[in-house]
Amino acid sequence: MFRSVGIALKQSDSKALLVFKQLLPLLKIYHTKRVISHLYLDWESAKIAEVNSIKKLSKDLPLKIQSIKNWADRVDLLLSIGGDGTLLRSARHLLSGDGWKKAHLLGINAGHLGFLTYLHSSSSKEALKKLFESSKEKVSSESRSCLAVTIKARGKKQMVHAMNDAVLSKGALSRLFEFDVSIDNHFLSSYRADGMVVSSPTGSTAYNLAAGGAILTPSIEALQLTPICPQSLTNKPIVVSDASRIVLRLGKHSSDVFVTLDGHLAIKMETGDRVEVRKSPKRIQLVLPPGVGPSHYYQSLRQKLRWGLSAKEKESS
């Protein structure tokens, strides 16, 4: 069973807050049944709302309103209510410590385009009932590979884990800059471009897709490099084994360049700095809600990208 449950909401979003409030009676039931013993709400989520209102609605619950940094390593189930951005933020906190070893992550879609938030808010109550009444071992999930990104910038070195991508790009001024790419110590190419996206299979439907990269199914053991608006039209995306070590080294005109991880953490780079990307030893377990089967991924692609519908989907639309 999921004894310890954490909740993160999309910040400054009234719909995500409403979904959370609608779930409180259900959470009270499973606390009374001694299924849920600990319940946490991210402080950043609570600051957006009226804290007193939340405390009043949850007075019969052991709800602790704290920063997700304080409890990400303690929960069995992390509910992310919002869109893919909220889920990536939740995943980032699991990856920053040991939370990824224990927690299952479930995205409840209270936004728009969502490839990772499998559960729609309208069906969240019924799905959570089934989850709370199942043993943890019987819950279906997908294990998603992540990236380990080592950044050597401005004389400092740090490693960060990301679920989707590492993006090298310009800052305020949109001008070409130069960088070299090597794979497993083999020189691949030099580039003059607006940047480069290095993505996991999960991240292939994010910035990578917008930059012209291919969609990789989550089970593929690969990494993808997609140049952003390269000067040479022959510079195309390339897919490599996820056992590869990818190194991007900055060249000329790199005075205002940043590496951005999952669209959030941005680190400034300079000429000669480098970014190394590998497959991370850490993984994220995404919960598959009851009723969601193996074909859901392709159904999601059709619906989100408005591809041709099946005959059955046409009848129901």
What pLDDT shows up at residue 253?
Answer: 75
**What is the C-alpha separation between 165 and 146, in angstroms, rounded?**
8
Domain ranges of the chain: 4-140+288-316, 146-281
pTM of the model: 0.91
Superfamily of domain 146-281: Probable inorganic polyphosphate/atp-NAD kinase; domain 2 (2.60.200.30)
Sequence-distant (6+) residues with CB within 8 A of 315 are: none
Per residue in 237-258, pLDDT (tens digit) is 999 999 999 999 999 877 889 9
What pLDDT shows up at residue 53?
Answer: 78
Catalytic residue among 13, 73, 76, 84: 84
SS3 for 307?
A: coil
**pLDDT for residue 174 is more than 60:** yes
**CATH number belonging to the domain at 4-140+288-316, selected among 3.40.50.11890, 3.40.50.720, 3.40.50.10330, 3.20.20.70:** 3.40.50.10330
What pLDDT shows up at residue 11?
Answer: 85
Mean pLDDT computed over every residue of the chain: 91
Give catalytic status of residue 165 as yes or no.
no
Per residue in 210-226, pLDDT (tens digit) is 999 999 999 999 999 99
